[in-house]
A and B are shown apart, each in its own frame.
Chain A
């Protein structure tokens, strides 16, 4: 592959937001270089486990003890298993320093974590953008729902999001493909909660799955979701959205995209003016050779904490504390989603009902706390994911032989589960920084994470557990149990902030178009840009903000403002 070292645009990272930056910039005619620190992963070709039967996996899907012992951290990640581990990093390869416990889950390959993401795609409500300021726990966003709504639509139409138009204030409707059906336990839960409460809405999951593809999806080479629910192996049908199945091949087709895997970005380089980036410094992951790439705009999509790391490590004389970091706010206000609490119970009845296929989505119990007005002893809201399942095996007096075996093969009782996704407060003390002395094999300082829970999180968890128990009992469940798994921040894989957007350049890193206040041809549009966390799954907001920023960048380049 021949590559010139000068491009119109550089995108650092090929995950869910980097793929979107590449697509938008290439479509608008910009010669774009995508730098990915991990290996190449091509759609379908590099999904080695995608079509394996469960019994064809060496340990039937279980991870050997040795691998678990060598990877105590990454092996905690949701979806990590024998069939997917090749899309997660190994602990030893990518060390960092936990000043407070923090599980930093990474997927270093072309496509990044878009191959292994959760795929939930709810829109933020207008309240979520303003609640931190109104309820006194943070700073207002420089933009609101109306600024993002057209870009949500733009993204939804392209990636394909299934769901139902539910008309709810706390979770606005989008442009949806048909939803995945409720099963009978979920329908029962929806009906019971609807009858008992005025504010508890169980709706069908809004998920990045092609329940019924449209022409735009077929044009991407993607097809109908086959209800395999083996998504994280990579989908040979393109049934769910990933950079690999969608944005990257789309961008490649323009002829404007170059993808360079195995490219560890060391830092962003400034031109002599001190107010413009001229490019980035790259260290080849394998050869350690150093390359400089230049462009008129740089998009930072390295994943939330790696974007922080690269900017902190970009220390030209004008910015000795990191790019655009005159006020010391870079790396501060790191936040996440609280997934600590879950609940489940057994649901009697529906013995003669079953389902067909494996639903890759989950139902959503829409946030009902602090919507609009603050009414609780905590701030922020929570989204609850919920679903009905049917266990395998019925009780059997016989514990050996034919009757025992037969009992094990029968569908068992139904159950309902719930788990929380809670908003957390962005706090100045929750931060990441560069380690003073320790460096990785590419000579880049290790990241130090110093991120923890607070009392607000504890109060929210208490309320969630009480409400989950009550609701499952209202639904008629017995043996309802709630639990707090005490997991460290980060395992949510929703780390956000550190390079937040804001109106006031003295209080934030980015303006309303995701440009560094001090270096406006650098755009940060991954999770690092988040001013607050909201309670919705963040990926689709990153995609919408990226598309919005990329189009702004193109306009500004045309106007010669960049």
Chain B
């Protein structure tokens, strides 16, 4: 449900007529998209959003990955922009995380407290650093990509101005000023 809403709002914002007519975006016509097989099931999409939100949580300065709708965005990117190998690696990784969460804490990842979630991801991160084909760097990359390209990520965590109006080459950095998106 959540995914469908997010996708619908994306297509609404784009404004269908041109994008559908160019052919470039033909693969992304709203009617077709909802029927297309996604790389992640609804459960997997929810779980990957929990991971993204653990990596990039809501803080005093900005909302986190869940508020940014990272799950749907990750699923769309993974489905359309990554190959089957990467898709399989992500799905396999999510299954592994489910097992580890149950084995370690006797509960699903989504119902763990923040400290336990972070602890589990830190362990997995440490293991993944010696294995370039590990699933966790991929999920991290997807999380960063989805979050920092979202409206929340670009405007609340970073700063984005569509029409700056002018270029000034050198200005003092204000204390605490986030980076430009």
Binds A, one of B42-50, B88-96, B98-106, B166-174: B166-174
Bound-complex Cα distance A182 to B77 (A): 36
Bound-complex Cα distance A486 to B114 (A): 48
Q: Mark A392-409, 1 if CB is under 8 A from B, else 0.
A: 110000011110111011
Q: Mark B144-181, 1 if CB is under 8 A from A, else 0.
A: 11101111001001101111111111111100011111
Please tell me if the beta carbons of B25 and A58 are within 8 angstroms of each other in the complex: yes
Q: Does B97 have its Cβ within 8 Å of any Cβ on chain A? A: no
Contacting residue for A392 out of B57, B150, B158, CB 8 A: B158
Measured CB to CB, the nearest residue on chain B to A352 is: B173
Q: Does A181 have its Cβ within 8 Å of any Cβ on chain B? A: yes
Please tell me if the beta carbons of A182 and B170 are within 8 angstroms of each other in the complex: yes
Contacting residue for B167 out of A56, A58, A358, CB 8 A: A358
Q: Does A255 have its Cβ within 8 Å of any Cβ on chain B? A: no
Binds B, one of A61-69, A259-267, A365-373, A511-519: A61-69
Using known A-B contacts A61-B149, A400-B54, determine if residue A357 contacts B122 with beta carbons closer than 8 Å: no
Q: Report B-chain residues with C-beta under 8 Å of the C-beta of A56.
A: 10, 13-14
Q: Report B-chain residues with C-beta under 8 Å of the C-beta of A358.
A: 164, 167, 180
The tally of residues in A whose CB lies under 8 Å from a CB in B reads 57
Could you tell me which residues of chain A, from 20 to 53, have a CB within 8 Å of some CB in chain B? 48, 51-53
Bound-complex Cα distance A96 to B150 (A): 39
Measured CB to CB, the nearest residue on chain B to A392 is: B179
Please tell me if the beta carbons of A401 and B57 are within 8 angstroms of each other in the complex: yes
Bound-complex Cα distance A30 to B86 (A): 60
Please tell me if the beta carbons of B54 and A401 are within 8 angstroms of each other in the complex: yes
Q: Does A351 have its Cβ within 8 Å of any Cβ on chain B? A: yes
Measured CB to CB, the nearest residue on chain B to A404 is: B55
Bound-complex Cα distance A57 to B80 (A): 13
Please tell me if the beta carbons of B167 and A181 are within 8 angstroms of each other in the complex: yes
Shortest CB-to-CB span from A212 to chain B, Å, is 11
Q: Report B-chain residues with C-beta under 8 Å of the C-beta of A228.
A: 162-164
Please tell me if the beta carbons of A54 and B160 are within 8 angstroms of each other in the complex: yes
Shortest CB-to-CB span from A159 to chain B, Å, is 19
Please tell me if the beta carbons of B158 and A409 are within 8 angstroms of each other in the complex: yes
Shortest CB-to-CB span from A316 to chain B, Å, is 38
Bound-complex Cα distance A400 to B118 (A): 6
Using known A-B contacts A357-B167, A400-B122, determine if residue A410 contacts B149 with beta carbons closer than 8 Å: no
Contacting residue for A183 out of B10, B57, B170, B181, CB 8 A: B170
Q: Report A-chain residues with C-beta under 8 Å of the C-beta of B118.
A: 400-401
Measured CB to CB, the nearest residue on chain B to A360 is: B167
Please tell me if the beta carbons of B59 and A402 are within 8 angstroms of each other in the complex: yes
Shortest CB-to-CB span from A396 to chain B, Å, is 12
Q: Does B22 have its Cβ within 8 Å of any Cβ on chain A? A: yes
Please tell me if the beta carbons of B163 and A400 are within 8 angstroms of each other in the complex: no
Please tell me if the beta carbons of A55 and B14 are within 8 angstroms of each other in the complex: no
Q: Report B-chain residues with C-beta under 8 Å of the C-beta of A360.
A: 167
Q: Mark B2-28, 1 if CB is under 8 A from A, else 0.
A: 000000001101110011001111011
Shortest CB-to-CB span from A334 to chain B, Å, is 30
Contacting residue for A406 out of B19, B61, B146, CB 8 A: B61
Please tell me if the beta carbons of B122 and A86 are within 8 angstroms of each other in the complex: no
Please tell me if the beta carbons of B173 and A63 are within 8 angstroms of each other in the complex: no
How would you classify the secondary structure of chain B's contact residues: helix, strand, loop or mixed? mixed
The tally of residues in B whose CB lies under 8 Å from a CB in A reads 62
Q: Report A-chain residues with C-beta under 8 Å of the C-beta of B57.
A: 401-402, 405
Q: Report A-chain residues with C-beta under 8 Å of the C-beta of B55.
A: 400-401, 404-405
Please tell me if the beta carbons of A67 and B121 are within 8 angstroms of each other in the complex: no
Contacting residue for B28 out of A62, A64, A184, A186, CB 8 A: A64
Bound-complex Cα distance A354 to B171 (A): 5
Measured CB to CB, the nearest residue on chain A to B159 is: A409
Please tell me if the beta carbons of A226 and B163 are within 8 angstroms of each other in the complex: yes
Q: Does A291 have its Cβ within 8 Å of any Cβ on chain B? A: no
Q: Report A-chain residues with C-beta under 8 Å of the C-beta of B166.
A: 226-227, 356-357
Using known A-B contacts A48-B19, A64-B80, A357-B165, determine if residue A58 contacts B173 with beta carbons closer than 8 Å: no
Contacting residue for B81 out of A62, A85, A410, CB 8 A: A62
Bound-complex Cα distance A351 to B114 (A): 33
Q: Report A-chain residues with C-beta under 8 Å of the C-beta of B82.
A: 65
Q: Does A353 have its Cβ within 8 Å of any Cβ on chain B? A: yes
Please tell me if the beta carbons of B165 and A227 are within 8 angstroms of each other in the complex: yes
Q: Report A-chain residues with C-beta under 8 Å of the C-beta of B165.
A: 226-227, 357
Shortest CB-to-CB span from B52 to chain A, Å, is 10
Tell me which of B24, B55, B148, B150 has the highest count of chain A C-beta atoms within 10 A of its own C-beta. B24
Q: Report B-chain residues with C-beta under 8 Å of the C-beta of A182.
A: 169-170
Contacting residue for B27 out of A48, A67, A393, CB 8 A: A67
Shortest CB-to-CB span from A517 to chain B, Å, is 43
Bound-complex Cα distance A411 to B157 (A): 12
Please tell me if the beta carbons of B179 and A393 are within 8 angstroms of each other in the complex: yes
Please tell me if the beta carbons of A353 and B172 are within 8 angstroms of each other in the complex: yes
Q: Does A187 have its Cβ within 8 Å of any Cβ on chain B? A: yes
Please tell me if the beta carbons of B24 and A67 are within 8 angstroms of each other in the complex: yes
Bound-complex Cα distance A182 to B54 (A): 39
Please tell me if the beta carbons of A86 and B62 are within 8 angstroms of each other in the complex: no
Please tell me if the beta carbons of A355 and B169 are within 8 angstroms of each other in the complex: yes
Q: Mark A223-262, 1 if CB is under 8 A from B, else 0.
A: 0001110000000000000000000000000000000000
Please tell me if the beta carbons of A55 and B151 are within 8 angstroms of each other in the complex: yes
Contacting residue for B149 out of A52, A54, A67, CB 8 A: A54
Q: Report B-chain residues with C-beta under 8 Å of the C-beta of A408.
A: 56, 144, 148, 157
Sample of 4 more A-B contacts, CB < 8 Å, known A227-B165, A400-B55, A409-B158 = A60-B149, A65-B81, A356-B168, A358-B164
**B residues bordering A, Cβ < 8 Å?**
10-11, 13-15, 18-19, 22-25, 27-28, 54-57, 59, 61-62, 64, 73, 76-77, 80-83, 114, 118, 121-122, 125, 144-146, 148-151, 154, 157-158, 160-173, 177-181
17 contacts between A and B (CB under 8 A): A53-B160, A55-B150, A61-B149, A62-B77, A85-B22, A181-B168, A353-B172, A356-B166, A357-B161, A358-B180, A390-B179, A400-B118, A401-B114, A406-B61, A410-B178, A410-B179, A411-B180
5 nearest A-B residue pairs (beta carbon): A181-B169, A357-B164, A60-B149, A357-B167, A227-B167
